[in-house]
Chain A
């Protein structure tokens, strides 16, 4: 009989020994099969991954069993979830038919300086225990990583960030990765590393003993567009906003929709993603990784193939918008990466939140620093904002606001964010005739136009770092030679009579370039400029220094 059994017998002295002793014998079979020297002091090392910003970092989980008073300690700067991991692991091991070693257990999450959070270390800790106590052979754990949360019954629960973890496994040249079954499709998107989706701890132990990993679930096809995808075919009327969104998608221009409540601003913005070029696989992987890390994909799904559409409520804080938290994580701006960020009721957002959005809009990425941690988050989104024309929302014809109300509304709108918005378009309530008319466009046909225009831009902007007209630096702005005579005259007239400000002049040029690209013209003609002027920022929203007295 081994020492553990000895201890147990001692504690039972004086009780009903007949039944208890049969229990010991039953238990003792497992424990005492091995020679005493191999049960004892053993060290196991496993690989798992921690999420740091949007990337994963390799974590070595060391499990050491020592003689001494039984206990279970986890070191390595874990948070509350990691500390509670002890209880989950303890129960999961026992409830999966294994023995929890009655030893002094020390778990170290290395490197020790990196703060760790979340329940993702449960599986590595449990496997380490099994390996250290000799219940599972140590061969495979050198080449495989494990990742997942345990329930008390030993089942694996899905965790966020599986894609980033799989990428980490590939980066470190590991053979395979064991993840909860629900995360398998997502982790399986990474090529070059075997992924096993497993349901419980016993299954994990089987794979570590050498069993073949179960088949991966087939990821949903990339082209399968669900029936709930927003299409322009469902829209009646709204010719002007659809045209503006087409231009916006073609040139990557940020857009402001102005219209009374209930006219369909949100509905229109939701359809912008469907007319943008489809996500490339690389983009789709980035989007999937970010959404997975944010915990939005818990419980499955494969690659995200639709461009994300994020519409945060206007009470959002600046860290909610651009990212933050003790462990810096993505905000709405990053969740909208490669997609559309929609800010409804723009004038209601906190000034600080909108200010914070400026850098992500300019740089297409944002660095969040919290304490000693920094995270670089990508924020390449298209901005669509919406607002009522005035506080009462009725618009110019039936408005009941005072001039003071108007001024306040305009002051709140005309923040620095507006400098990055090229297109201002009115959205009006469609009338009866429009509602009964057939739809004006389908997303597929508009997307083709957009793709053609984007190709022309890509050819022109090759090697400049900009990918679309909206990103075009001032130096690349359309030159006079690209402008036809009529276009030059129209611009000059608009500038001379104060219709255009100097700032607006540059924006109109960029938009006119996009309109010409949509038409497949190399030269910018007067009608392109005139249409661009009709989509310019309202005079009332110009910055005071750009404003010039009309007349």
Chain B
């Protein structure tokens, strides 16, 4: 039985949110406005949405029964915690428009654990683009796995691409992970990630501020991002284009005085324009799990509300050193050439007097040594640390 640690007023507020969700969507004022909206008191919110005279909303509010709301949550197989309850993760309260109720599928204990206020790094958000490169997916998975292995909760949005890879990495560890959804917590979104949803609810939890059964709306994504930023004491963006949702998460995290990290990508690639811009603006460079864990040691431009210390040495994994360079001078030369862009047997052949067979042999040796991985199109790339 999942806990229902909710009070009447909070349920009433959530119920109202469900009622006006489509109106907020129609207001379509983008992300700049939703934050202000969600911070408003009930009556002001209704007024701001111009729904004061909406009879349907009025009647529905009159008819609201906290008990039937609880029944609906139970019927959806969810639990719920409200901001006045003991299970509610206190880091979220830093948000001016903190969600009043979190609906939970899976283990809500993970949320309560985030409330530990001993200055430890408890959760790290790993977010990024839906359209990700193999490089980005690789890095996100390795980060998720490493953080989870160190006991850090990996928070993300279960979206395609980076988000899912981060969750999957955490589940591989295996370790704690929280997915924050934009729709109801009982509805896996995107639907193709149903299997991942099941694995996350089994090993961690899936949360949403909207009542069960709520469909997908545009405004809910930036709103969801604020919860991701609020839950985590640090946010790492793996790959993001310019003007991407992941940058919103990073922005909110910065407003909260949390730590921001970004994984650098090629400056020529549109997929990493956003992350590289973050780095330019002062985000910490995240190359591996160790960098992510060390985020807390870096001063951020915004004042700390919750000073966080470095994690103790025993959870700090050794930096996953690059496998040692090959001893064979020929292979070393080949590896250097790969780093210089000779990423296929045809291009590497130049190093071997045009002998493409020898180039292929060298690439395979480097692959078997764990230094390279081979893509579908037969090209080779450096492998993220194992």
Contacts and interface: CB of A to CB of B under 8 A. Distances in A.
A434 B348 CA distance: 12
A240 B378 contact: yes
A67 interface: no
Contacts of A242: 356
A396 B381 CA distance: 10
B361 A527 contact: yes
Interface in B185-240: 192
A522 B368 CA distance: 25
A551 B161 CA distance: 20
A275 interface: no
Interface stretch (A1-9, A200-208, A354-362, A531-539): A531-539
A424 B378 CA distance: 8
Pick from A237, A426, A493, A550 the residue with the most CB of B within 10 Å.
A426
Contacts of B381: 396
A401 interface: yes
Nearest to A388: B377
Interface stretch (B41-49, B127-135, B306-314): B127-135
Most chain A CB inside 10 Å of its own CB: which residue of B130, B172, B354, B356: B356
A549 B130 CA distance: 22
B160 A396 contact: no
A237 B346 contact: yes
Residue of A242, A243, A403, A551 with highest tally of chain B CB at under 10 A: A403
B361 A534 contact: yes
Contacts of A60: none
Contact of B164 (A403, A428, A515): A403
Contacts of A243: 345, 356-357, 360
Which one of B357, B358, B373, B386 has the greatest number of beta carbons of chain A within 10 Å? Answer: B357
A434 B133 CA distance: 28
Nearest to A494: B368
B80 interface: no
A398 B269 contact: yes
Given A403-B132, A493-B368, A527-B357, A395 B346 contact: no
Interface in A384-403: 389-390, 395-403
B269 A538 contact: no
Interface string B357-386: 110110111011010011111110100001
A403 B137 contact: yes
Contacts of A434: 346
Contacts of B373: 550
A338 B134 CA distance: 40
19 contacts: A237-B346, A239-B349, A239-B354, A239-B356, A243-B357, A260-B377, A400-B131, A402-B161, A403-B130, A403-B132, A404-B192, A497-B370, A530-B361, A530-B365, A531-B357, A531-B361, A533-B368, A534-B364, A538-B378
| 4 A-B pairs with the lowest CB-CB distances in the bound complex, closest first | A426-B378, A389-B377, A534-B360, A240-B346
Interface of A: 237-243, 258-260, 389-390, 395-404, 410, 424-428, 430-431, 434, 440, 490, 493-494, 497, 499, 515, 527, 530-531, 533-535, 538-541, 549-551
Given A242-B356, A390-B376, A397-B269, 15 more contacts: A239-B345, A239-B354, A258-B378, A395-B379, A396-B381, A400-B270, A402-B160, A403-B131, A403-B160, A424-B378, A490-B364, A499-B368, A530-B364, A531-B357, A549-B172
